Amino acid sequence: MLLVFTVLTAVMTYPQVLHLPAGVHDDGDPLLGTWIFAWVAHQLPRAPARMFDANMYYPERRTLALQETMLLPGVAAAPLHWLGVHPLLVHNVILLSGFVLSGVGMALLVRMLTNSAGAGLIAGIVFAFVPFRIDHYAHVQMQQTQCLPCAMWALHKLLRTGRVRDGVLFGAFGAGQMLSCVYFGLFLIPYAAVVGGTMLVGDPPRLKRRLVALLAAAAIGIVAVLPAGIAYLREREVVGERGRLEVMNGSATWHGYLAAPAANLMYGRLLARFVRPERQLFPGFLVVALAAFALWPPVSRVRLAYALGLLIALDISLGFNGVTFPYLYEYILPFRAVRIPARMGLFTAFSLAVLAGFGVTRLLEGLNSAGVRRMAFMTIALVLLAEYASRPVIVDMDREVPAVYADIVRDRDAGPTAAIFEFPTSLFDNPMYLYYSTFHWQHLVNGYGGFIPPSYWRIAEAVTNFPDERSMIEIRRHGTNYLVIHGERLRGNRYETLMATLDHRADLKLVSRRPWFALGKHSTISAYRMLQIEP
C-alpha cells in the first residue's frame, strides 16, 4: 500500500517529482515551512527547552508559536537536516509524505471497517488527493494529516475493546495531529466526539471500561501538547485573538463545495465562478454518489456515525454561517485562534472517503462475477483519479544564499549572535529572509506567520521613509546590529538612492556589498554594521 500511494502521489502532484531539490509552489508559505523544519532541527540538539524562541521578530520571544509549529514532522525530518540534506528538499519530502501517509492511513482505517482492501484503496485515494489539498499546496501543514485516520482507527479499537492501550494510542495519534497541524488537531476534537459518541449510544456494555480508556487518551493528549499549548497561550497575550470579521471572511458557504482549484484539470475552469480564496472545498461528484449509496437503508451504526460526522464537518466549515462554530468560538478558547473555519472541509472529505469505502463494498458485493467486480473497481479508481487530477504550480528557488550573510558572520568574529534588520520589510519579502536565515541562524527583526506581534507593526510603519531618523531610532530600539539592503527587491533607482545615503552615515559601516540575481533582476545586496555613536 505504501508503494502504491508513493507512485500515485508522484503522478498526482506532477511535476513536483521533477523539482524535488528546490521546487515549491511559491516564495511565501513554502519558505516559512522550510524555515520551521530547519529551525526545529537546529534547535533540537542545542536548546530544546527554548524551541519556541525562534530567530524571527527579534527581540520577541516564543515566536515559533505565531504560526503552525509542525513539531512532529519537524522532529521526524530532523535527521535529514543533520545529514546535510538541503532545507528545500526536506520541505518537499515532508510535503509529499503527507499525501502518501494520509492515503495509507485512510486505506488501513477503511479496510478495518469494511474488511475490504479495495474499499480501503478507494477511500485512501479520496483522502490523499481530494482537491482541497491542491488548493492548499503552498501550505505544507495542510498536508500533515497522516495522524487523522490513525487516530480514528485507534478510536474504533478503543470502542470495540475498551482497552487502555487503545486509549493511549488514540491520545498519542490525536496529539500527533495537534503537533502536526493545530487546525486539524482542534477540529478532530468535535469530529471524534460526534463519531465516537454515536458509536457509544445504545451500546452500554463495558461503558465504564471505555470511559477509563478515553480518560487515558485525554491524559496522554494533554501531556503531549502541553508545552505547545502554554506557548500558544502566552503568545495570545501578545497578539490577541482572531476577530469575528476576520473569521467570518474565512467561513465557507455552500457554494464553496462546488469550487475546485484552478489547477484541477477536469473542473478548474468549469467551476471557476464558485471560487473564493481558501474556500475551495469541492470533493468530486463520484465520492458523493458512493457515499449516498452507502447511506441507502439499511444503515449500520458505523455508517450512521460517519454520516453525522459528515454533517458536523459541513456545519463547522461554514464558520459563522453555520450553527456549531459560533459556540466553539465563544466557549472554547483555542477556537478563537482559528482564522479559516472552512478548513474543516477536509473532515467533510474524510467522512466522504470513509462512506465511499462502504459504498464501494456494497456495490461490489452486489456483482456476481469476479471479472465484473474488478472492472467496476478499476473504473471507480480511474474516475476518482481523473476527477482529482491537477497540475500544481511549481517554481524553483535558489539553493544558495547571498554571500553577505557569510560576511556578517565573519564580521562577528565568533561574537554573540547578531540581530539583522532586512529591507524592504513587506510580508512578501520576509519569507525569503527566513529561508536565508537557515544558513546563518542570526536573529531577525523581520518575520512572517499567521500572527504578527505589535512590535513588528510599529517598526514596519516607522520605516516608511527609511532611512530617516525616526526609522533608524526604531531599528536601534529592536537591538539591531546589522542592516541588510536588498537591491533585487527594490524598484526603480530606490536602491542606488539608499546606498548614496547609507554610505555616508557616520553610524553605519559597510561590511559587504555582493552581486545577486533574483526576481529576474541583477543587483547587489549590501550589509552595514550599526555603530554606537556617542551623543
Asked if 98 and 184 sit in the same domain, the reply is yes
- Tens-place pLDDT, residues 52-103: 999 999 999 999 999 999 999 999 999 999 999 999 999 999 999 999 999 9
Asked if 269 and 221 sit in the same domain, the reply is yes
Contact between 133 and 89 under an 8 Å Cβ cutoff? The reply is no
| Domain's final residue, options 364, 388, 412 | 388
In a domain, 128, yes or no: yes
Asked if 460 and 421 sit in the same domain, the reply is yes
Mean pLDDT computed over 393-397: 94
The continuous run of DSSP H or E covering 127 comes out as helix 117-129
Cα–Cα distance measured from residue 405 to residue 267, given in angstroms and rounded to the nearest whole number? 46
Domain that holds residue 293: 2-22+86-388
| Domain's final residue, options 329, 358, 388 | 388
In a domain, 58, yes or no: no
| Residue 298 preceded by cis peptide, ω within 30 | yes
Asked if 366 and 420 sit in the same domain, the reply is no
State the pLDDT at residue 208: 72
Contact between 423 and 485 under an 8 Å Cβ cutoff? The reply is yes
* pTM, 2 dp: 0.94
In a domain, 34, yes or no: no
- Tens-place pLDDT, residues 134-181: 999 999 999 999 999 999 999 999 999 889 999 999 999 999 999 999
Domain count, the chain: 2
Asked if 261 and 188 sit in the same domain, the reply is yes
DSSP state letter for 183:
H
In a domain, 44, yes or no: no
User: Pairing relation of β-strands 419-423 and 443-444?
Assistant: parallel
On the question of pLDDT at 521 being above 90, the answer is no
Asked if 367 and 417 sit in the same domain, the reply is no
Asked if 220 and 344 sit in the same domain, the reply is yes
Mean pLDDT computed over 325-340: 92
In a domain, 399, yes or no: no
Asked if 267 and 381 sit in the same domain, the reply is yes
Cα–Cα distance measured from residue 178 to residue 141, given in angstroms and rounded to the nearest whole number? 11
> Grid coordinates in use for 335?
477556537
In a domain, 398, yes or no: no
Cα–Cα distance measured from residue 142 to residue 139, given in angstroms and rounded to the nearest whole number? 5
Asked if 164 and 126 sit in the same domain, the reply is yes
| Domain's final residue, options 362, 388, 414 | 388
User: Pairing relation of β-strands 443-444 and 508-518?
Assistant: unpaired
State the pLDDT at residue 369: 87
In a domain, 66, yes or no: no
* Other residues' Cβ atoms within 10 Å of the Cβ of residue 47: 10
- Tens-place pLDDT, residues 263-273: 999 999 999 89
Q: To the nearest whole number, what is the mean pLDDT of the chain?
A: 93
Asked if 145 and 293 sit in the same domain, the reply is yes
Mean pLDDT computed over 171-194: 96
Contact between 229 and 189 under an 8 Å Cβ cutoff? The reply is no
Asked if 226 and 284 sit in the same domain, the reply is yes
On the question of pLDDT at 534 being above 70, the answer is no
On the question of pLDDT at 194 being above 80, the answer is yes
- Tens-place pLDDT, residues 420-432: 999 999 888 999 9
Asked if 294 and 337 sit in the same domain, the reply is yes
CATH number reported for the structural domain that contains residue 481 in this entry:
3.40.190
Q: For residue 522, what are the β-bridge partners?
A: 517
In a domain, 50, yes or no: no
State the pLDDT at residue 242: 83
DSSP state letter for 274:
G
On the question of pLDDT at 535 being above 60, the answer is no
